[in-house]
């Protein structure tokens, strides 16, 4: 079916370009017209696993963004209308399995896709529902993407990355091997999102219908169905495995015209009409939310909230992440940036509101074994400062200046505990100022999203910047990469100049 193959190829290349664009962006390279979003940001299943978290705390599961929610609604709208067309027409991992299976068809010919007896196969199909429940429950409990470590789709499109768990690569390899014997094995037996979308086959508006009066019982529809659904003995297919690919219909496989079609009452929808429906819904969903400034593929620095107990509705310090800047913490927890600066020895930072707390671990990396100042220290400090509950790790420590800010805010018992975990800012080691000077004197690491404010914070002067760039932007929050693109200068050349 040419139109479906074209749509599949377009979406495969689109996701591939997004993944490459994100990787290049992380390396500080900007390619015009290519998105820098992460794969998680453009995955509709991320919206599904975030539903619980969104309703109990108003935030999303880590690495999930508004864009995932929007795509979730677009795909659900398609599924209610036409069924799981996302699986049969859009999903790049489903497409990849089909491409591998095309080799299996050449090797095994008629035996392909028939190795597992239907009596066994029909029960194996429900394993994906078990996986769906496990993923939803575990994600709700942890507020983290529990499926990512076993996701072969993520492994396929990040095969050049060091962020993929070995388990995901193993499952990808197994899927590739099985695809030589079985059509879409991951879709049939393991895909949790396919399981969820498959439920819509029971109530979708346009269903696969067979006209008994014109059917010649050739069973060609059964043979052509990639999901091994027995269509020759039903009048209306509501099978949860249908991917709405239309390969079985009179338009492509059934030899009798008008015998097997996707229809609603007397209205038949053909493959050439499915593609425009997909395009229209995606344009309305994505384009419309972009116009309304709702579409977002970047992390929103809003921590989750407690969902029960005395502090229900309050932001949870445990969800403070390393990527948070001091200004983000002030915004959510009302802890002044200046108090955070004093507590963590950041007085020499030029733009402290931009300082990301994950940098503390590098700054204080030379402390004795078992002593750590990092993200967990910030979480504990914020919990003590605000009176919000948080259980720190055993290795938690705070710098001595933090005690002055906390002593009047905590109980005698807690005050005594804090005094036992205080450490001095190391003398003769690389403190905040020395780290900045050390990085500048050896190699300034400019990344894709480094802003001019951050560059100045590294100790680079305006004169040095002018020598490299020839001019400076009016907005210091602009990234160096974007400004290079604006003035027509190759970012990689500028990056090398900084390093030198």
Please give the angle made by the CA atoms of 115, 119 and 125, to the nearest 5 degrees: 80
- Evaluate whether 346 touches 327 at the Cβ level (below 8 Å): no
Q: Is 432 a domain residue?
A: no
Q: Is 60 a domain residue?
A: yes
Pick the more confident residue, 190 or 353.
190
Q: Is 447 a domain residue?
A: yes
Instruction: Give yes or no for residue 301 having a pLDDT over 70.
Output: no
Specify whether 13 is located in the same domain as 108.
yes
CA distances from 269 to 88, 197, 203, 208, 391 (A): 15, 20, 16, 10, 57
Residue 433 — pLDDT band, cuts 50, 70, 90? Answer: very low
Specify whether 43 is located in the same domain as 135.
yes
Specify whether 45 is located in the same domain as 157.
yes
Specify whether 346 is located in the same domain as 282.
no
Cα 63 to Cα 53: distance, rounded to the nearest angstrom:
13
pLDDT tens digits for range 256-288: 999 999 999 889 999 899 999 999 999 999 999
Q: E strand or H helix at 388, and its extent? A: none
> Which segments within 192-304 are labelled E, that is strand?
207-210, 236-237, 260-264, 267-268
**Residue 431's pLDDT is what?**
44
Averaged pLDDT of the chain: 86
Picking from 247, 241, 56, 48, the residue whose alpha carbon sits closest to that of residue 135 is 48
Q: 5-19, 47-61, 222-236 — which is least confidently predicted?
A: 47-61
Among 423, 455, 487, the domain-final residue is: 423
**Residue 430's pLDDT is what?**
42
- Which structural domain, as residue segments, surrounds residue 394? 317-423
Cα 165 to Cα 15: distance, rounded to the nearest angstrom:
20
Among 360, 389, 423, the domain-final residue is: 423
**Residue 425's pLDDT is what?**
80
Scan for tokens 């400076």, then name that residue: 472
Instruction: Give yes or no for residue 254 having a pLDDT over 70.
Output: yes
Specify whether 493 is located in the same domain as 402.
no
Picking from 384, 362, 388, 389, the residue whose alpha carbon sits closest to that of residue 375 is 362
Scan for tokens 């499952």, then name that residue: 171
Instruction: Give yes or no for residue 176 having a pLDDT over 80.
Output: yes
**Residue 307's pLDDT is what?**
80
Specify whether 404 is located in the same domain as 456.
no
Specify whether 131 is located in the same domain as 40.
yes
Specify whether 196 is located in the same domain as 81.
yes
**Residue 443's pLDDT is what?**
43
Q: Is 416 a domain residue?
A: yes
Specify whether 459 is located in the same domain as 330.
no
- Evaluate whether 230 touches 222 at the Cβ level (below 8 Å): yes
Q: Is 199 a domain residue?
A: yes
- Percentage with pLDDT > 70 across the chain: 90
Cα 54 to Cα 47: distance, rounded to the nearest angstrom:
9
Specify whether 341 is located in the same domain as 486.
no
Mean pLDDT, range 5-30, rounded to an integer:
88
pLDDT tens digits for range 465-492: 777 777 887 777 777 777 776 676 666 5
Q: Is 140 a domain residue?
A: yes
**Residue 418's pLDDT is what?**
92
Q: Is 82 a domain residue?
A: yes
- Evaluate whether 114 touches 178 at the Cβ level (below 8 Å): no
Mean pLDDT, range 32-58, rounded to an integer:
86
Give the phi and the psi of residue 259 in degrees, each rounded to 5. -85, -40
Instruction: Give yes or no for residue 355 having a pLDDT over 90.
Output: no
Pick the more confident residue, 131 or 461.
131
Surface-to-core class of residue 230, CB atoms within 10 Å of its CB (0-12 exposed, 13-18 middle, 19+ buried): middle
Cα 367 to Cα 360: distance, rounded to the nearest angstrom:
12
Surface-to-core class of residue 411, CB atoms within 10 Å of its CB (0-12 exposed, 13-18 middle, 19+ buried): exposed
Specify whether 17 is located in the same domain as 147.
yes
Number of domains in the chain: 3
Specify whether 112 is located in the same domain as 23.
yes
**Residue 25's pLDDT is what?**
77
* Spatial CB neighbours of 369, under 8 Å, sequence gap ≥ 6: none
Sheet arrangement for strand 236-237: 236-237, 207-210, 260-264, 267-268
- Evaluate whether 66 touches 294 at the Cβ level (below 8 Å): yes
Q: Is 38 a domain residue?
A: yes
């Amino acid at each position: 079916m040419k139109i479906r193959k074209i749509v599949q190829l377009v979406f495969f290349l689109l996701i591939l370009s997004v993944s490459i664009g994100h990787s290049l962006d992380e390396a500080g390279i900007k390619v015009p017209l290519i998105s820098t979003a992460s794969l998680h940001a453009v995955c509709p299943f991320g919206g599904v696993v975030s539903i619980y978290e969104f309703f109990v705390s108003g935030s999303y599961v880590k690495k999930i963004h508004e864009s995932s929610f929007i795509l979730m609604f677009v795909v659900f709208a398609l599924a209610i209308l036409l069924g799981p067309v996302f699986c049969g027409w859009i999903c790049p991992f489903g497409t990849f399995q089909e491409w591998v299976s095309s080799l299996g068809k050449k090797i095994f010919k008629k035996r392909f896709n028939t190795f597992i007896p239907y009596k066994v196969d029909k029960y194996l199909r429900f394993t994906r529902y078990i996986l769906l429940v496990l993923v939803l429950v575990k994600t709700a409990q942890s507020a983290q993407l529990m499926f990512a470590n076993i996701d072969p789709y993520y492994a396929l499109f990040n095969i050049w990355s060091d962020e993929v768990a070995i388990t995901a690569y193993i499952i990808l390899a197994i899927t590739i091997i099985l695809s030589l014997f079985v059509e879409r094995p991951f879709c049939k037996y393991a895909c949790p999102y396919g399981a969820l979308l498959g439920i819509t086959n029971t109530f979708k508006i346009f269903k696969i219908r067979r006209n008994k009066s014109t059917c010649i019982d050739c069973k060609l529809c059964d043979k052509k169905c990639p999901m091994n659904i027995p269509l020759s003995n039903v009048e209306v297919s509501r099978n949860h495995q249908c991917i709405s690919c239309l390969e079985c219909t009179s338009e492509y496989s059934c030899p009798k015209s008008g015998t097997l079609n996707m229809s609603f009452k007397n209205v038949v929808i053909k493959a050439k009409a499915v593609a425009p429906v997909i395009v229209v819904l995606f344009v309305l969903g994505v384009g419309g939310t972009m116009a309304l400034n709702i579409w977002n593929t970047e992390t929103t620095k809003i921590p989750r909230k407690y969902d029960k107990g005395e502090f229900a509705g309050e932001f949870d310090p445990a969800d403070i992440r390393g990527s948070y800047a001091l200004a983000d913490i002030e915004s959510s927890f009302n802890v002044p940036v200046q108090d955070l600066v004093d507590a963590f020895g950041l007085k020499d930072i030029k733009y402290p509101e931009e300082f990301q707390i994950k940098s503390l671990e590098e700054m204080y990396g030379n402390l004795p074994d078992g002593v750590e100042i990092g993200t967990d220290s910030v979480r504990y400090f914020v919990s003590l400062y605000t009176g919000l509950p948080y259980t720190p790790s055993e290795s938690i420590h705070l710098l001595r200046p933090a005690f002055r800010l906390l002593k009047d805010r905590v109980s005698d018992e807690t005050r005594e505990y804090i005094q036992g975990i205080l450490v001095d800012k190391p003398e003769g080691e690389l403190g905040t100022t020395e780290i900045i000077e050390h990085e500048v004197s050896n190699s300034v690491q400019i990344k894709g999203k480094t802003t001019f404010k951050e560059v100045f914070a590294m100790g680079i002067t305006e004169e040095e910047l002018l020598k490299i760039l020839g001019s400076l932007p009016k907005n210091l929050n602009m990234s160096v990469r974007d400004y290079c693109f604006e003035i027509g200068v190759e970012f990689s050349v500028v990056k090398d100049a900084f390093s030198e």
